[in-house]
Structure 1
Amino acid sequence: MQAGCLRYGIHTGDKPLAPAAFLLGSYVIGSVPFGYWLCKLVKGIDVRQAGSGNIGFTNVWRVAGPPLACLVFALDLAKGMVPTLIAHHFLPGNDVWRLLVGSAAIAGHNWSLFLKFKGGRGVCTTLGVLFALTPAAAAFTFVVWLTMVLTTRYVSLGSIAGSIAYPAVILVTHHSTPLVVFSLLAGAAVIARHVPNIKRLLRGEENKFGRLKGAADRPPTEEQT
């Protein structure tokens, strides 16, 4: 194991650290359901049974208010960024392992260890990983997302637009094959998690950002979960 760890440049000081430790730790951090726990703790609301049923920023905004939603946004972003930055520190020059560690955090958010392997759509956590990997491209992606949300008031549409924008930027500005592949897969994963939203957009039934009132009192439909 030690020889294998050293061969991949994975170590902390004089002690090798197995790749599995990075991946498992990142998955556990990504699994922390901040939206669910904070809504329970602060508001006494099970966010999975209110509004759209999602545990992320948008639904927390609707059912618990902007301050708590902004905190959830920051924490969900951090749980993607921090493990990836740690991997960047311990794995300098090793793109593949950094990308895998970031992917583990995203997987944790989407299939949380603490929610019976259910979770959110991974937008904020993915954005955190992107900021750790490529800050400029991530900032551009965030601007695309924010612009789309402000102009259309559809968060889902902003997320889909950002999922297309990031791979496009990476394809033009970077030559790292692992990063290009990751950008395409990450974008595809976010879009796949938004298929129900896409269906509602096409039917003209998607809720606009900030539109729902009394969402905490209405259970989600089967399609919204």
Structure 2
Amino acid sequence: MITVKIVVLVLLAYVIGSIPTGLIIGKLCFHTDVRQYGSKNIGATNTYRVLGMKAALPVFLGDAGKGAIGVLLFSPNPEWMIVGGLCAMIGHNWSIFLGFSGGRGVATGLGVLIALSPIAAIICFAVWGIIVKFTSYVSLGSIVAATLVPIVMYCLSEPLPYIIFGAIAALFVVFRHRENIVRLLQGKELAVKRITKDK
């Protein structure tokens, strides 16, 4: 029974993570498929580019909430809480509802981090905000902040499983941003600014 319960919770965390928040909010509330504009991504950043903050904020909160729920499904077991968070991130990145495509996993990863280590989440989010403020590149802020997660967790003396999660999550985020990294190096990356829908 315990094994069955774990399997059910793993699948549930994945399915919850798979919910395409940006696509749902864009279509239901703004009659717009954000995948057709900007970076074609369903995350909060591209939603902001296409639809503005009134759409991006609920997408961000929804995506972060998916990560937190994935963790809390397995509370209070630390190791399984990490598994739940990773399943939610996998669902967001490779959604069953989008043909196993999806977002970059940053907001969902932040939700996982908030549930596991709120102080580390605040520090990394602050770093992300500073980088985005001065460069206008969300991708750069996300890559740097994600890379800092295991380092910050180590400095905060978080449990080893949490630090390992931080390292794995960082690899997830960097891998999902590999095309952004190329564009950053080429000077072709999209800045975080509003666009018109014909672009």
Question: Could you say whether these structures have the same fold, taking a TM-score greater than 0.5 normalized by the shorter chain as the test?
Answer: yes
Distance 1:152 1:65 in 2: 19
Q: Which stretch shifts more, 104-113 or 78-87?
A: 78-87
Q: Against the structure 1 CA distance between its residues 175 and 67, is the aligned structure 2 distance closer, same or farther, given a 3 Å change threshold?
A: closer
Per-residue deviation at 1:86? 3.2
The C-alpha deviation readout for 1:30-81, integer Å capped at 9, x for no partner, is 1100101111112222211111100001100011111101110011111111
Which SS does the other structure have where 2:74 is aligned? Answer: helix
Query: Which of 97, 114, 122 is the aligned partner of 2:97?
Result: 114
Q: Which stretch shifts more, 170-179 or 110-119?
A: 170-179
Distance 2:43 2:17 in 1: 13
Query: Which of 24, 29, 32 is the aligned partner of 1:37?
Result: 24
TM-score by length of 2: 0.95
Correspondences of 1:98-109 after superposition (within 5 Å): 98-109=81-92
Query: Which of 50, 56, 59 is the aligned partner of 1:69?
Result: 56
Gaps of 5+ in 2: none
How many residues of Structure 1 are paired with residues of Structure 2 in the alignment?
Answer: 199
Distance 1:115 1:174 in 2: 38
Correspondences of 1:158-177 after superposition (within 5 Å): 158-174=141-157, 176-177=159-160
State the match for 1:213 in structure 2.
195
State the match for 1:11 in structure 2.
none
Distance 1:163 1:134 in 2: 14
State the match for 2:14 in structure 1.
27
Correspondences of 1:77-92 after superposition (within 5 Å): 77-88=64-75, 92=76
Aligned-residue Cα RMSD (Å) equals: 1.4
**Identity, % of aligned positions:** 44
Distance 2:42 2:195 in 1: 17
Per-residue deviation at 1:146? 0.8
Distance 2:95 2:148 in 1: 27
Per-residue deviation at 1:175? 5.2
Gaps of 5+ in 1: 6-16, 219-225
Distance 2:142 2:132 in 1: 9
Q: Which segments of structure 1 move beyond 3 Å, counting only runs of 4 or more?
A: none
Distance 1:213 1:54 in 2: 14
